[in-house]
Each structure stands twice: as C-alpha cells, then as structure tokens.
C-alpha cells in the first residue's frame, strides 16, 4: 500500500512538473519571458506560486526543464569513488566515467523528442534563454573541473582536468544540437556515445 501511494505521488509530481514546463514553453513562445508572470502561469496550470518555486527556481529554468531540486549527489560520489589515479597519469576510465556522469545527468532531465518543438519555439522567441543556459553551463564546467581534480587527486589548476571537461563539454553541446535540431530517433545516449567514439578516433589517428 505504501509503495502504491508513493508511486501515485511521484506520478502526480511528474505530471505537475510536465504541465508547468509545457505551459512555460508555450507562453514564452507566444509572448516572450516578459509577456507573462509566474502568477499567470500558475493560474493556468492550477498550482500555487509556492508550488512553482518548489519545482523551478525561475521561469527560465521552467522553460528549459531544469528542476530546482535535482539531486545528483549519488552520481557524483559514484564518479569520485570510481577513480583510480595512476602515478603515470589519469585513471584509465576517466573519460568513460565522466561521459556516463554527463549522460546520467541529462537523462534526469527527462527530455524527450516530443518536448523539442515547443522548447525550440520558446528559444527562438526568447534568445536570452540561450544566454541563461550558457551561464549555467559555464558554472557546471567550473564545478566539474573541481570534481575531476578531487577524483584524480590533482593539484588545483591542473590543465588535464580542464581539458577533460572542455572536451566532453564540446561533445555534449554537439550532441544536444543534434538531438534538438535534427529529425532523429536516436536517444541522447546513443548520440553522445557516437560522438565520443569519433573523438577517440581522431586522437588515436
């Protein structure tokens, strides 16, 4: 009974989040971010202002589908604990493990191909969403550099940590671009893995 109630609550929360995201995207596509208020969004969805901010930190984050409480601590600790620094260099599985972390974080966003048209319409109407996303990406990259330094026991400022983050960050952006802009039935996981394999081929040659 308890598991059933928990499952029902989780489905209800997921449905509420999805309705807020889709409504935020539609309103942004129609009016721009300044063309509606959080209160107007909440009224349309049928939730309180407090509920909205329990799910999303801002209208921008609602449009992009970035939840206010995305707990990735378990994934992060798993990534750190998997490190086996070698005296001669970095952990042999560093790239694979960091790629897995990137993919897992993306999948937590639960973004499907069905979400793409409305999301892209919102971004086309409101270009500053890209600036917001870029700022979040830069912050994430700084945090990931520190994370790799911690895992690999590197000195602060070791360029190898920054290089790993920038390399896979480039692959992430290219994979996201393909996922959003191309008619594809491939999952983000498949797109990212394919592009990572191409990068390995370039360096191997």
The CATH number assigned to the domain holding 46 equals: 1.10.10.60
Q: What is the pLDDT of residue 111?
A: 84
Among the candidates 46, 69, 92, a domain finishes at 69
Say if residue 52 is in the same domain as residue 133. no
Say if residue 110 is in the same domain as residue 19. no
Say if residue 52 is in the same domain as residue 125. no
The answer on pLDDT for 64 being more than 50 is yes
Residues facing 89 on adjacent strands = 86
pLDDT band at 2 (very low <50, low <70, confident <90, very high): low
Say if residue 75 is in the same domain as residue 146. yes
Residue by residue, DSSP assigns 27-50 as HHHHH-GGGS-HHHHHHHHT--HH
Per the listing, tokens 């560093």 go with 94
Say if residue 45 is in the same domain as residue 102. no
pLDDT in tens, 82-141: 887 666 678 989 999 999 999 999 998 888 878 888 998 999 999 899 899 889 899 999
Question: 53 near 27, Cβ under 8 Å?
Answer: no
Q: Which of 83-87, 111-115, 155-159, 162-166 is the least confident region? A: 83-87
CA distances from 50 to 26, 56, 173, 185 (A): 21, 10, 33, 37
Question: 121 near 32, Cβ under 8 Å?
Answer: no
CA distance 106 to 196: 16
Residue by residue, DSSP assigns 73-94 as HHHHHHHHHT---BTTBS-TTH
Say if residue 53 is in the same domain as residue 93. no
Say if residue 74 is in the same domain as residue 50. no
**Cβ atoms within 10 A of the Cβ of 60, count?**
21
Among the candidates 41, 69, 97, a domain finishes at 69
CA distance 4 to 11: 11
Say if residue 187 is in the same domain as residue 145. yes
The answer on pLDDT for 1 being more than 50 is no
How much is the pTM? 0.85
Q: What angle do CA 66, 70, 75 make, to 5 degrees?
A: 125
Q: How many domains does the chain have?
A: 2
Say if residue 105 is in the same domain as residue 187. yes
Say if residue 91 is in the same domain as residue 153. yes
Q: What is the pLDDT of residue 3?
A: 54
Which domain, by its residues, includes 28? 1-69
Say if residue 115 is in the same domain as residue 189. yes
Say if residue 10 is in the same domain as residue 63. yes
Residues facing 86 on adjacent strands = 89
């Amino acid at each position: 009974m308890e598991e059933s109630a928990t499952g029902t609550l989780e489905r209800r929360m997921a449905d509420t989040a999805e309705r807020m995201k889709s409504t935020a995207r539609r309103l942004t596509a129609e009016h721009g971010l300044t063309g509606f208020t959080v209160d107007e969004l909440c009224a349309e969805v049928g939730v309180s202002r407090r509920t909205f901010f329990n799910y999303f930190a801002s209208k921008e984050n609602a449009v992009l589908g970035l939840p206010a409480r995305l707990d990735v601590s378990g994934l992060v600790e798993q990534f750190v604990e998997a490190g086996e620094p070698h005296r001669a260099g970095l952990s042999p599985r560093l790239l694979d493990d960091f790629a897995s972390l990137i993919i897992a974080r993306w999948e937590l966003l639960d973004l499907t191909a069905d979400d793409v048209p409305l999301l892209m319409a919102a971004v086309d109407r409101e270009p500053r969403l890209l600036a917001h996303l870029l700022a979040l990406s830069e912050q994430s990259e700084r945090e990931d550099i520190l994370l790799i330094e911690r895992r690999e026991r590197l000195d602060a400022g070791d360029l190898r940590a920054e290089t790993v983050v920038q390399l896979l960050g480039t692959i992430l952006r290219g994979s996201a671009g393909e996922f959003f802009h191309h008619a594809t039935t491939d999952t983000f996981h498949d797109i990212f893995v394919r592009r990572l394999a191409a990068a390995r081929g370039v360096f191997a040659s």
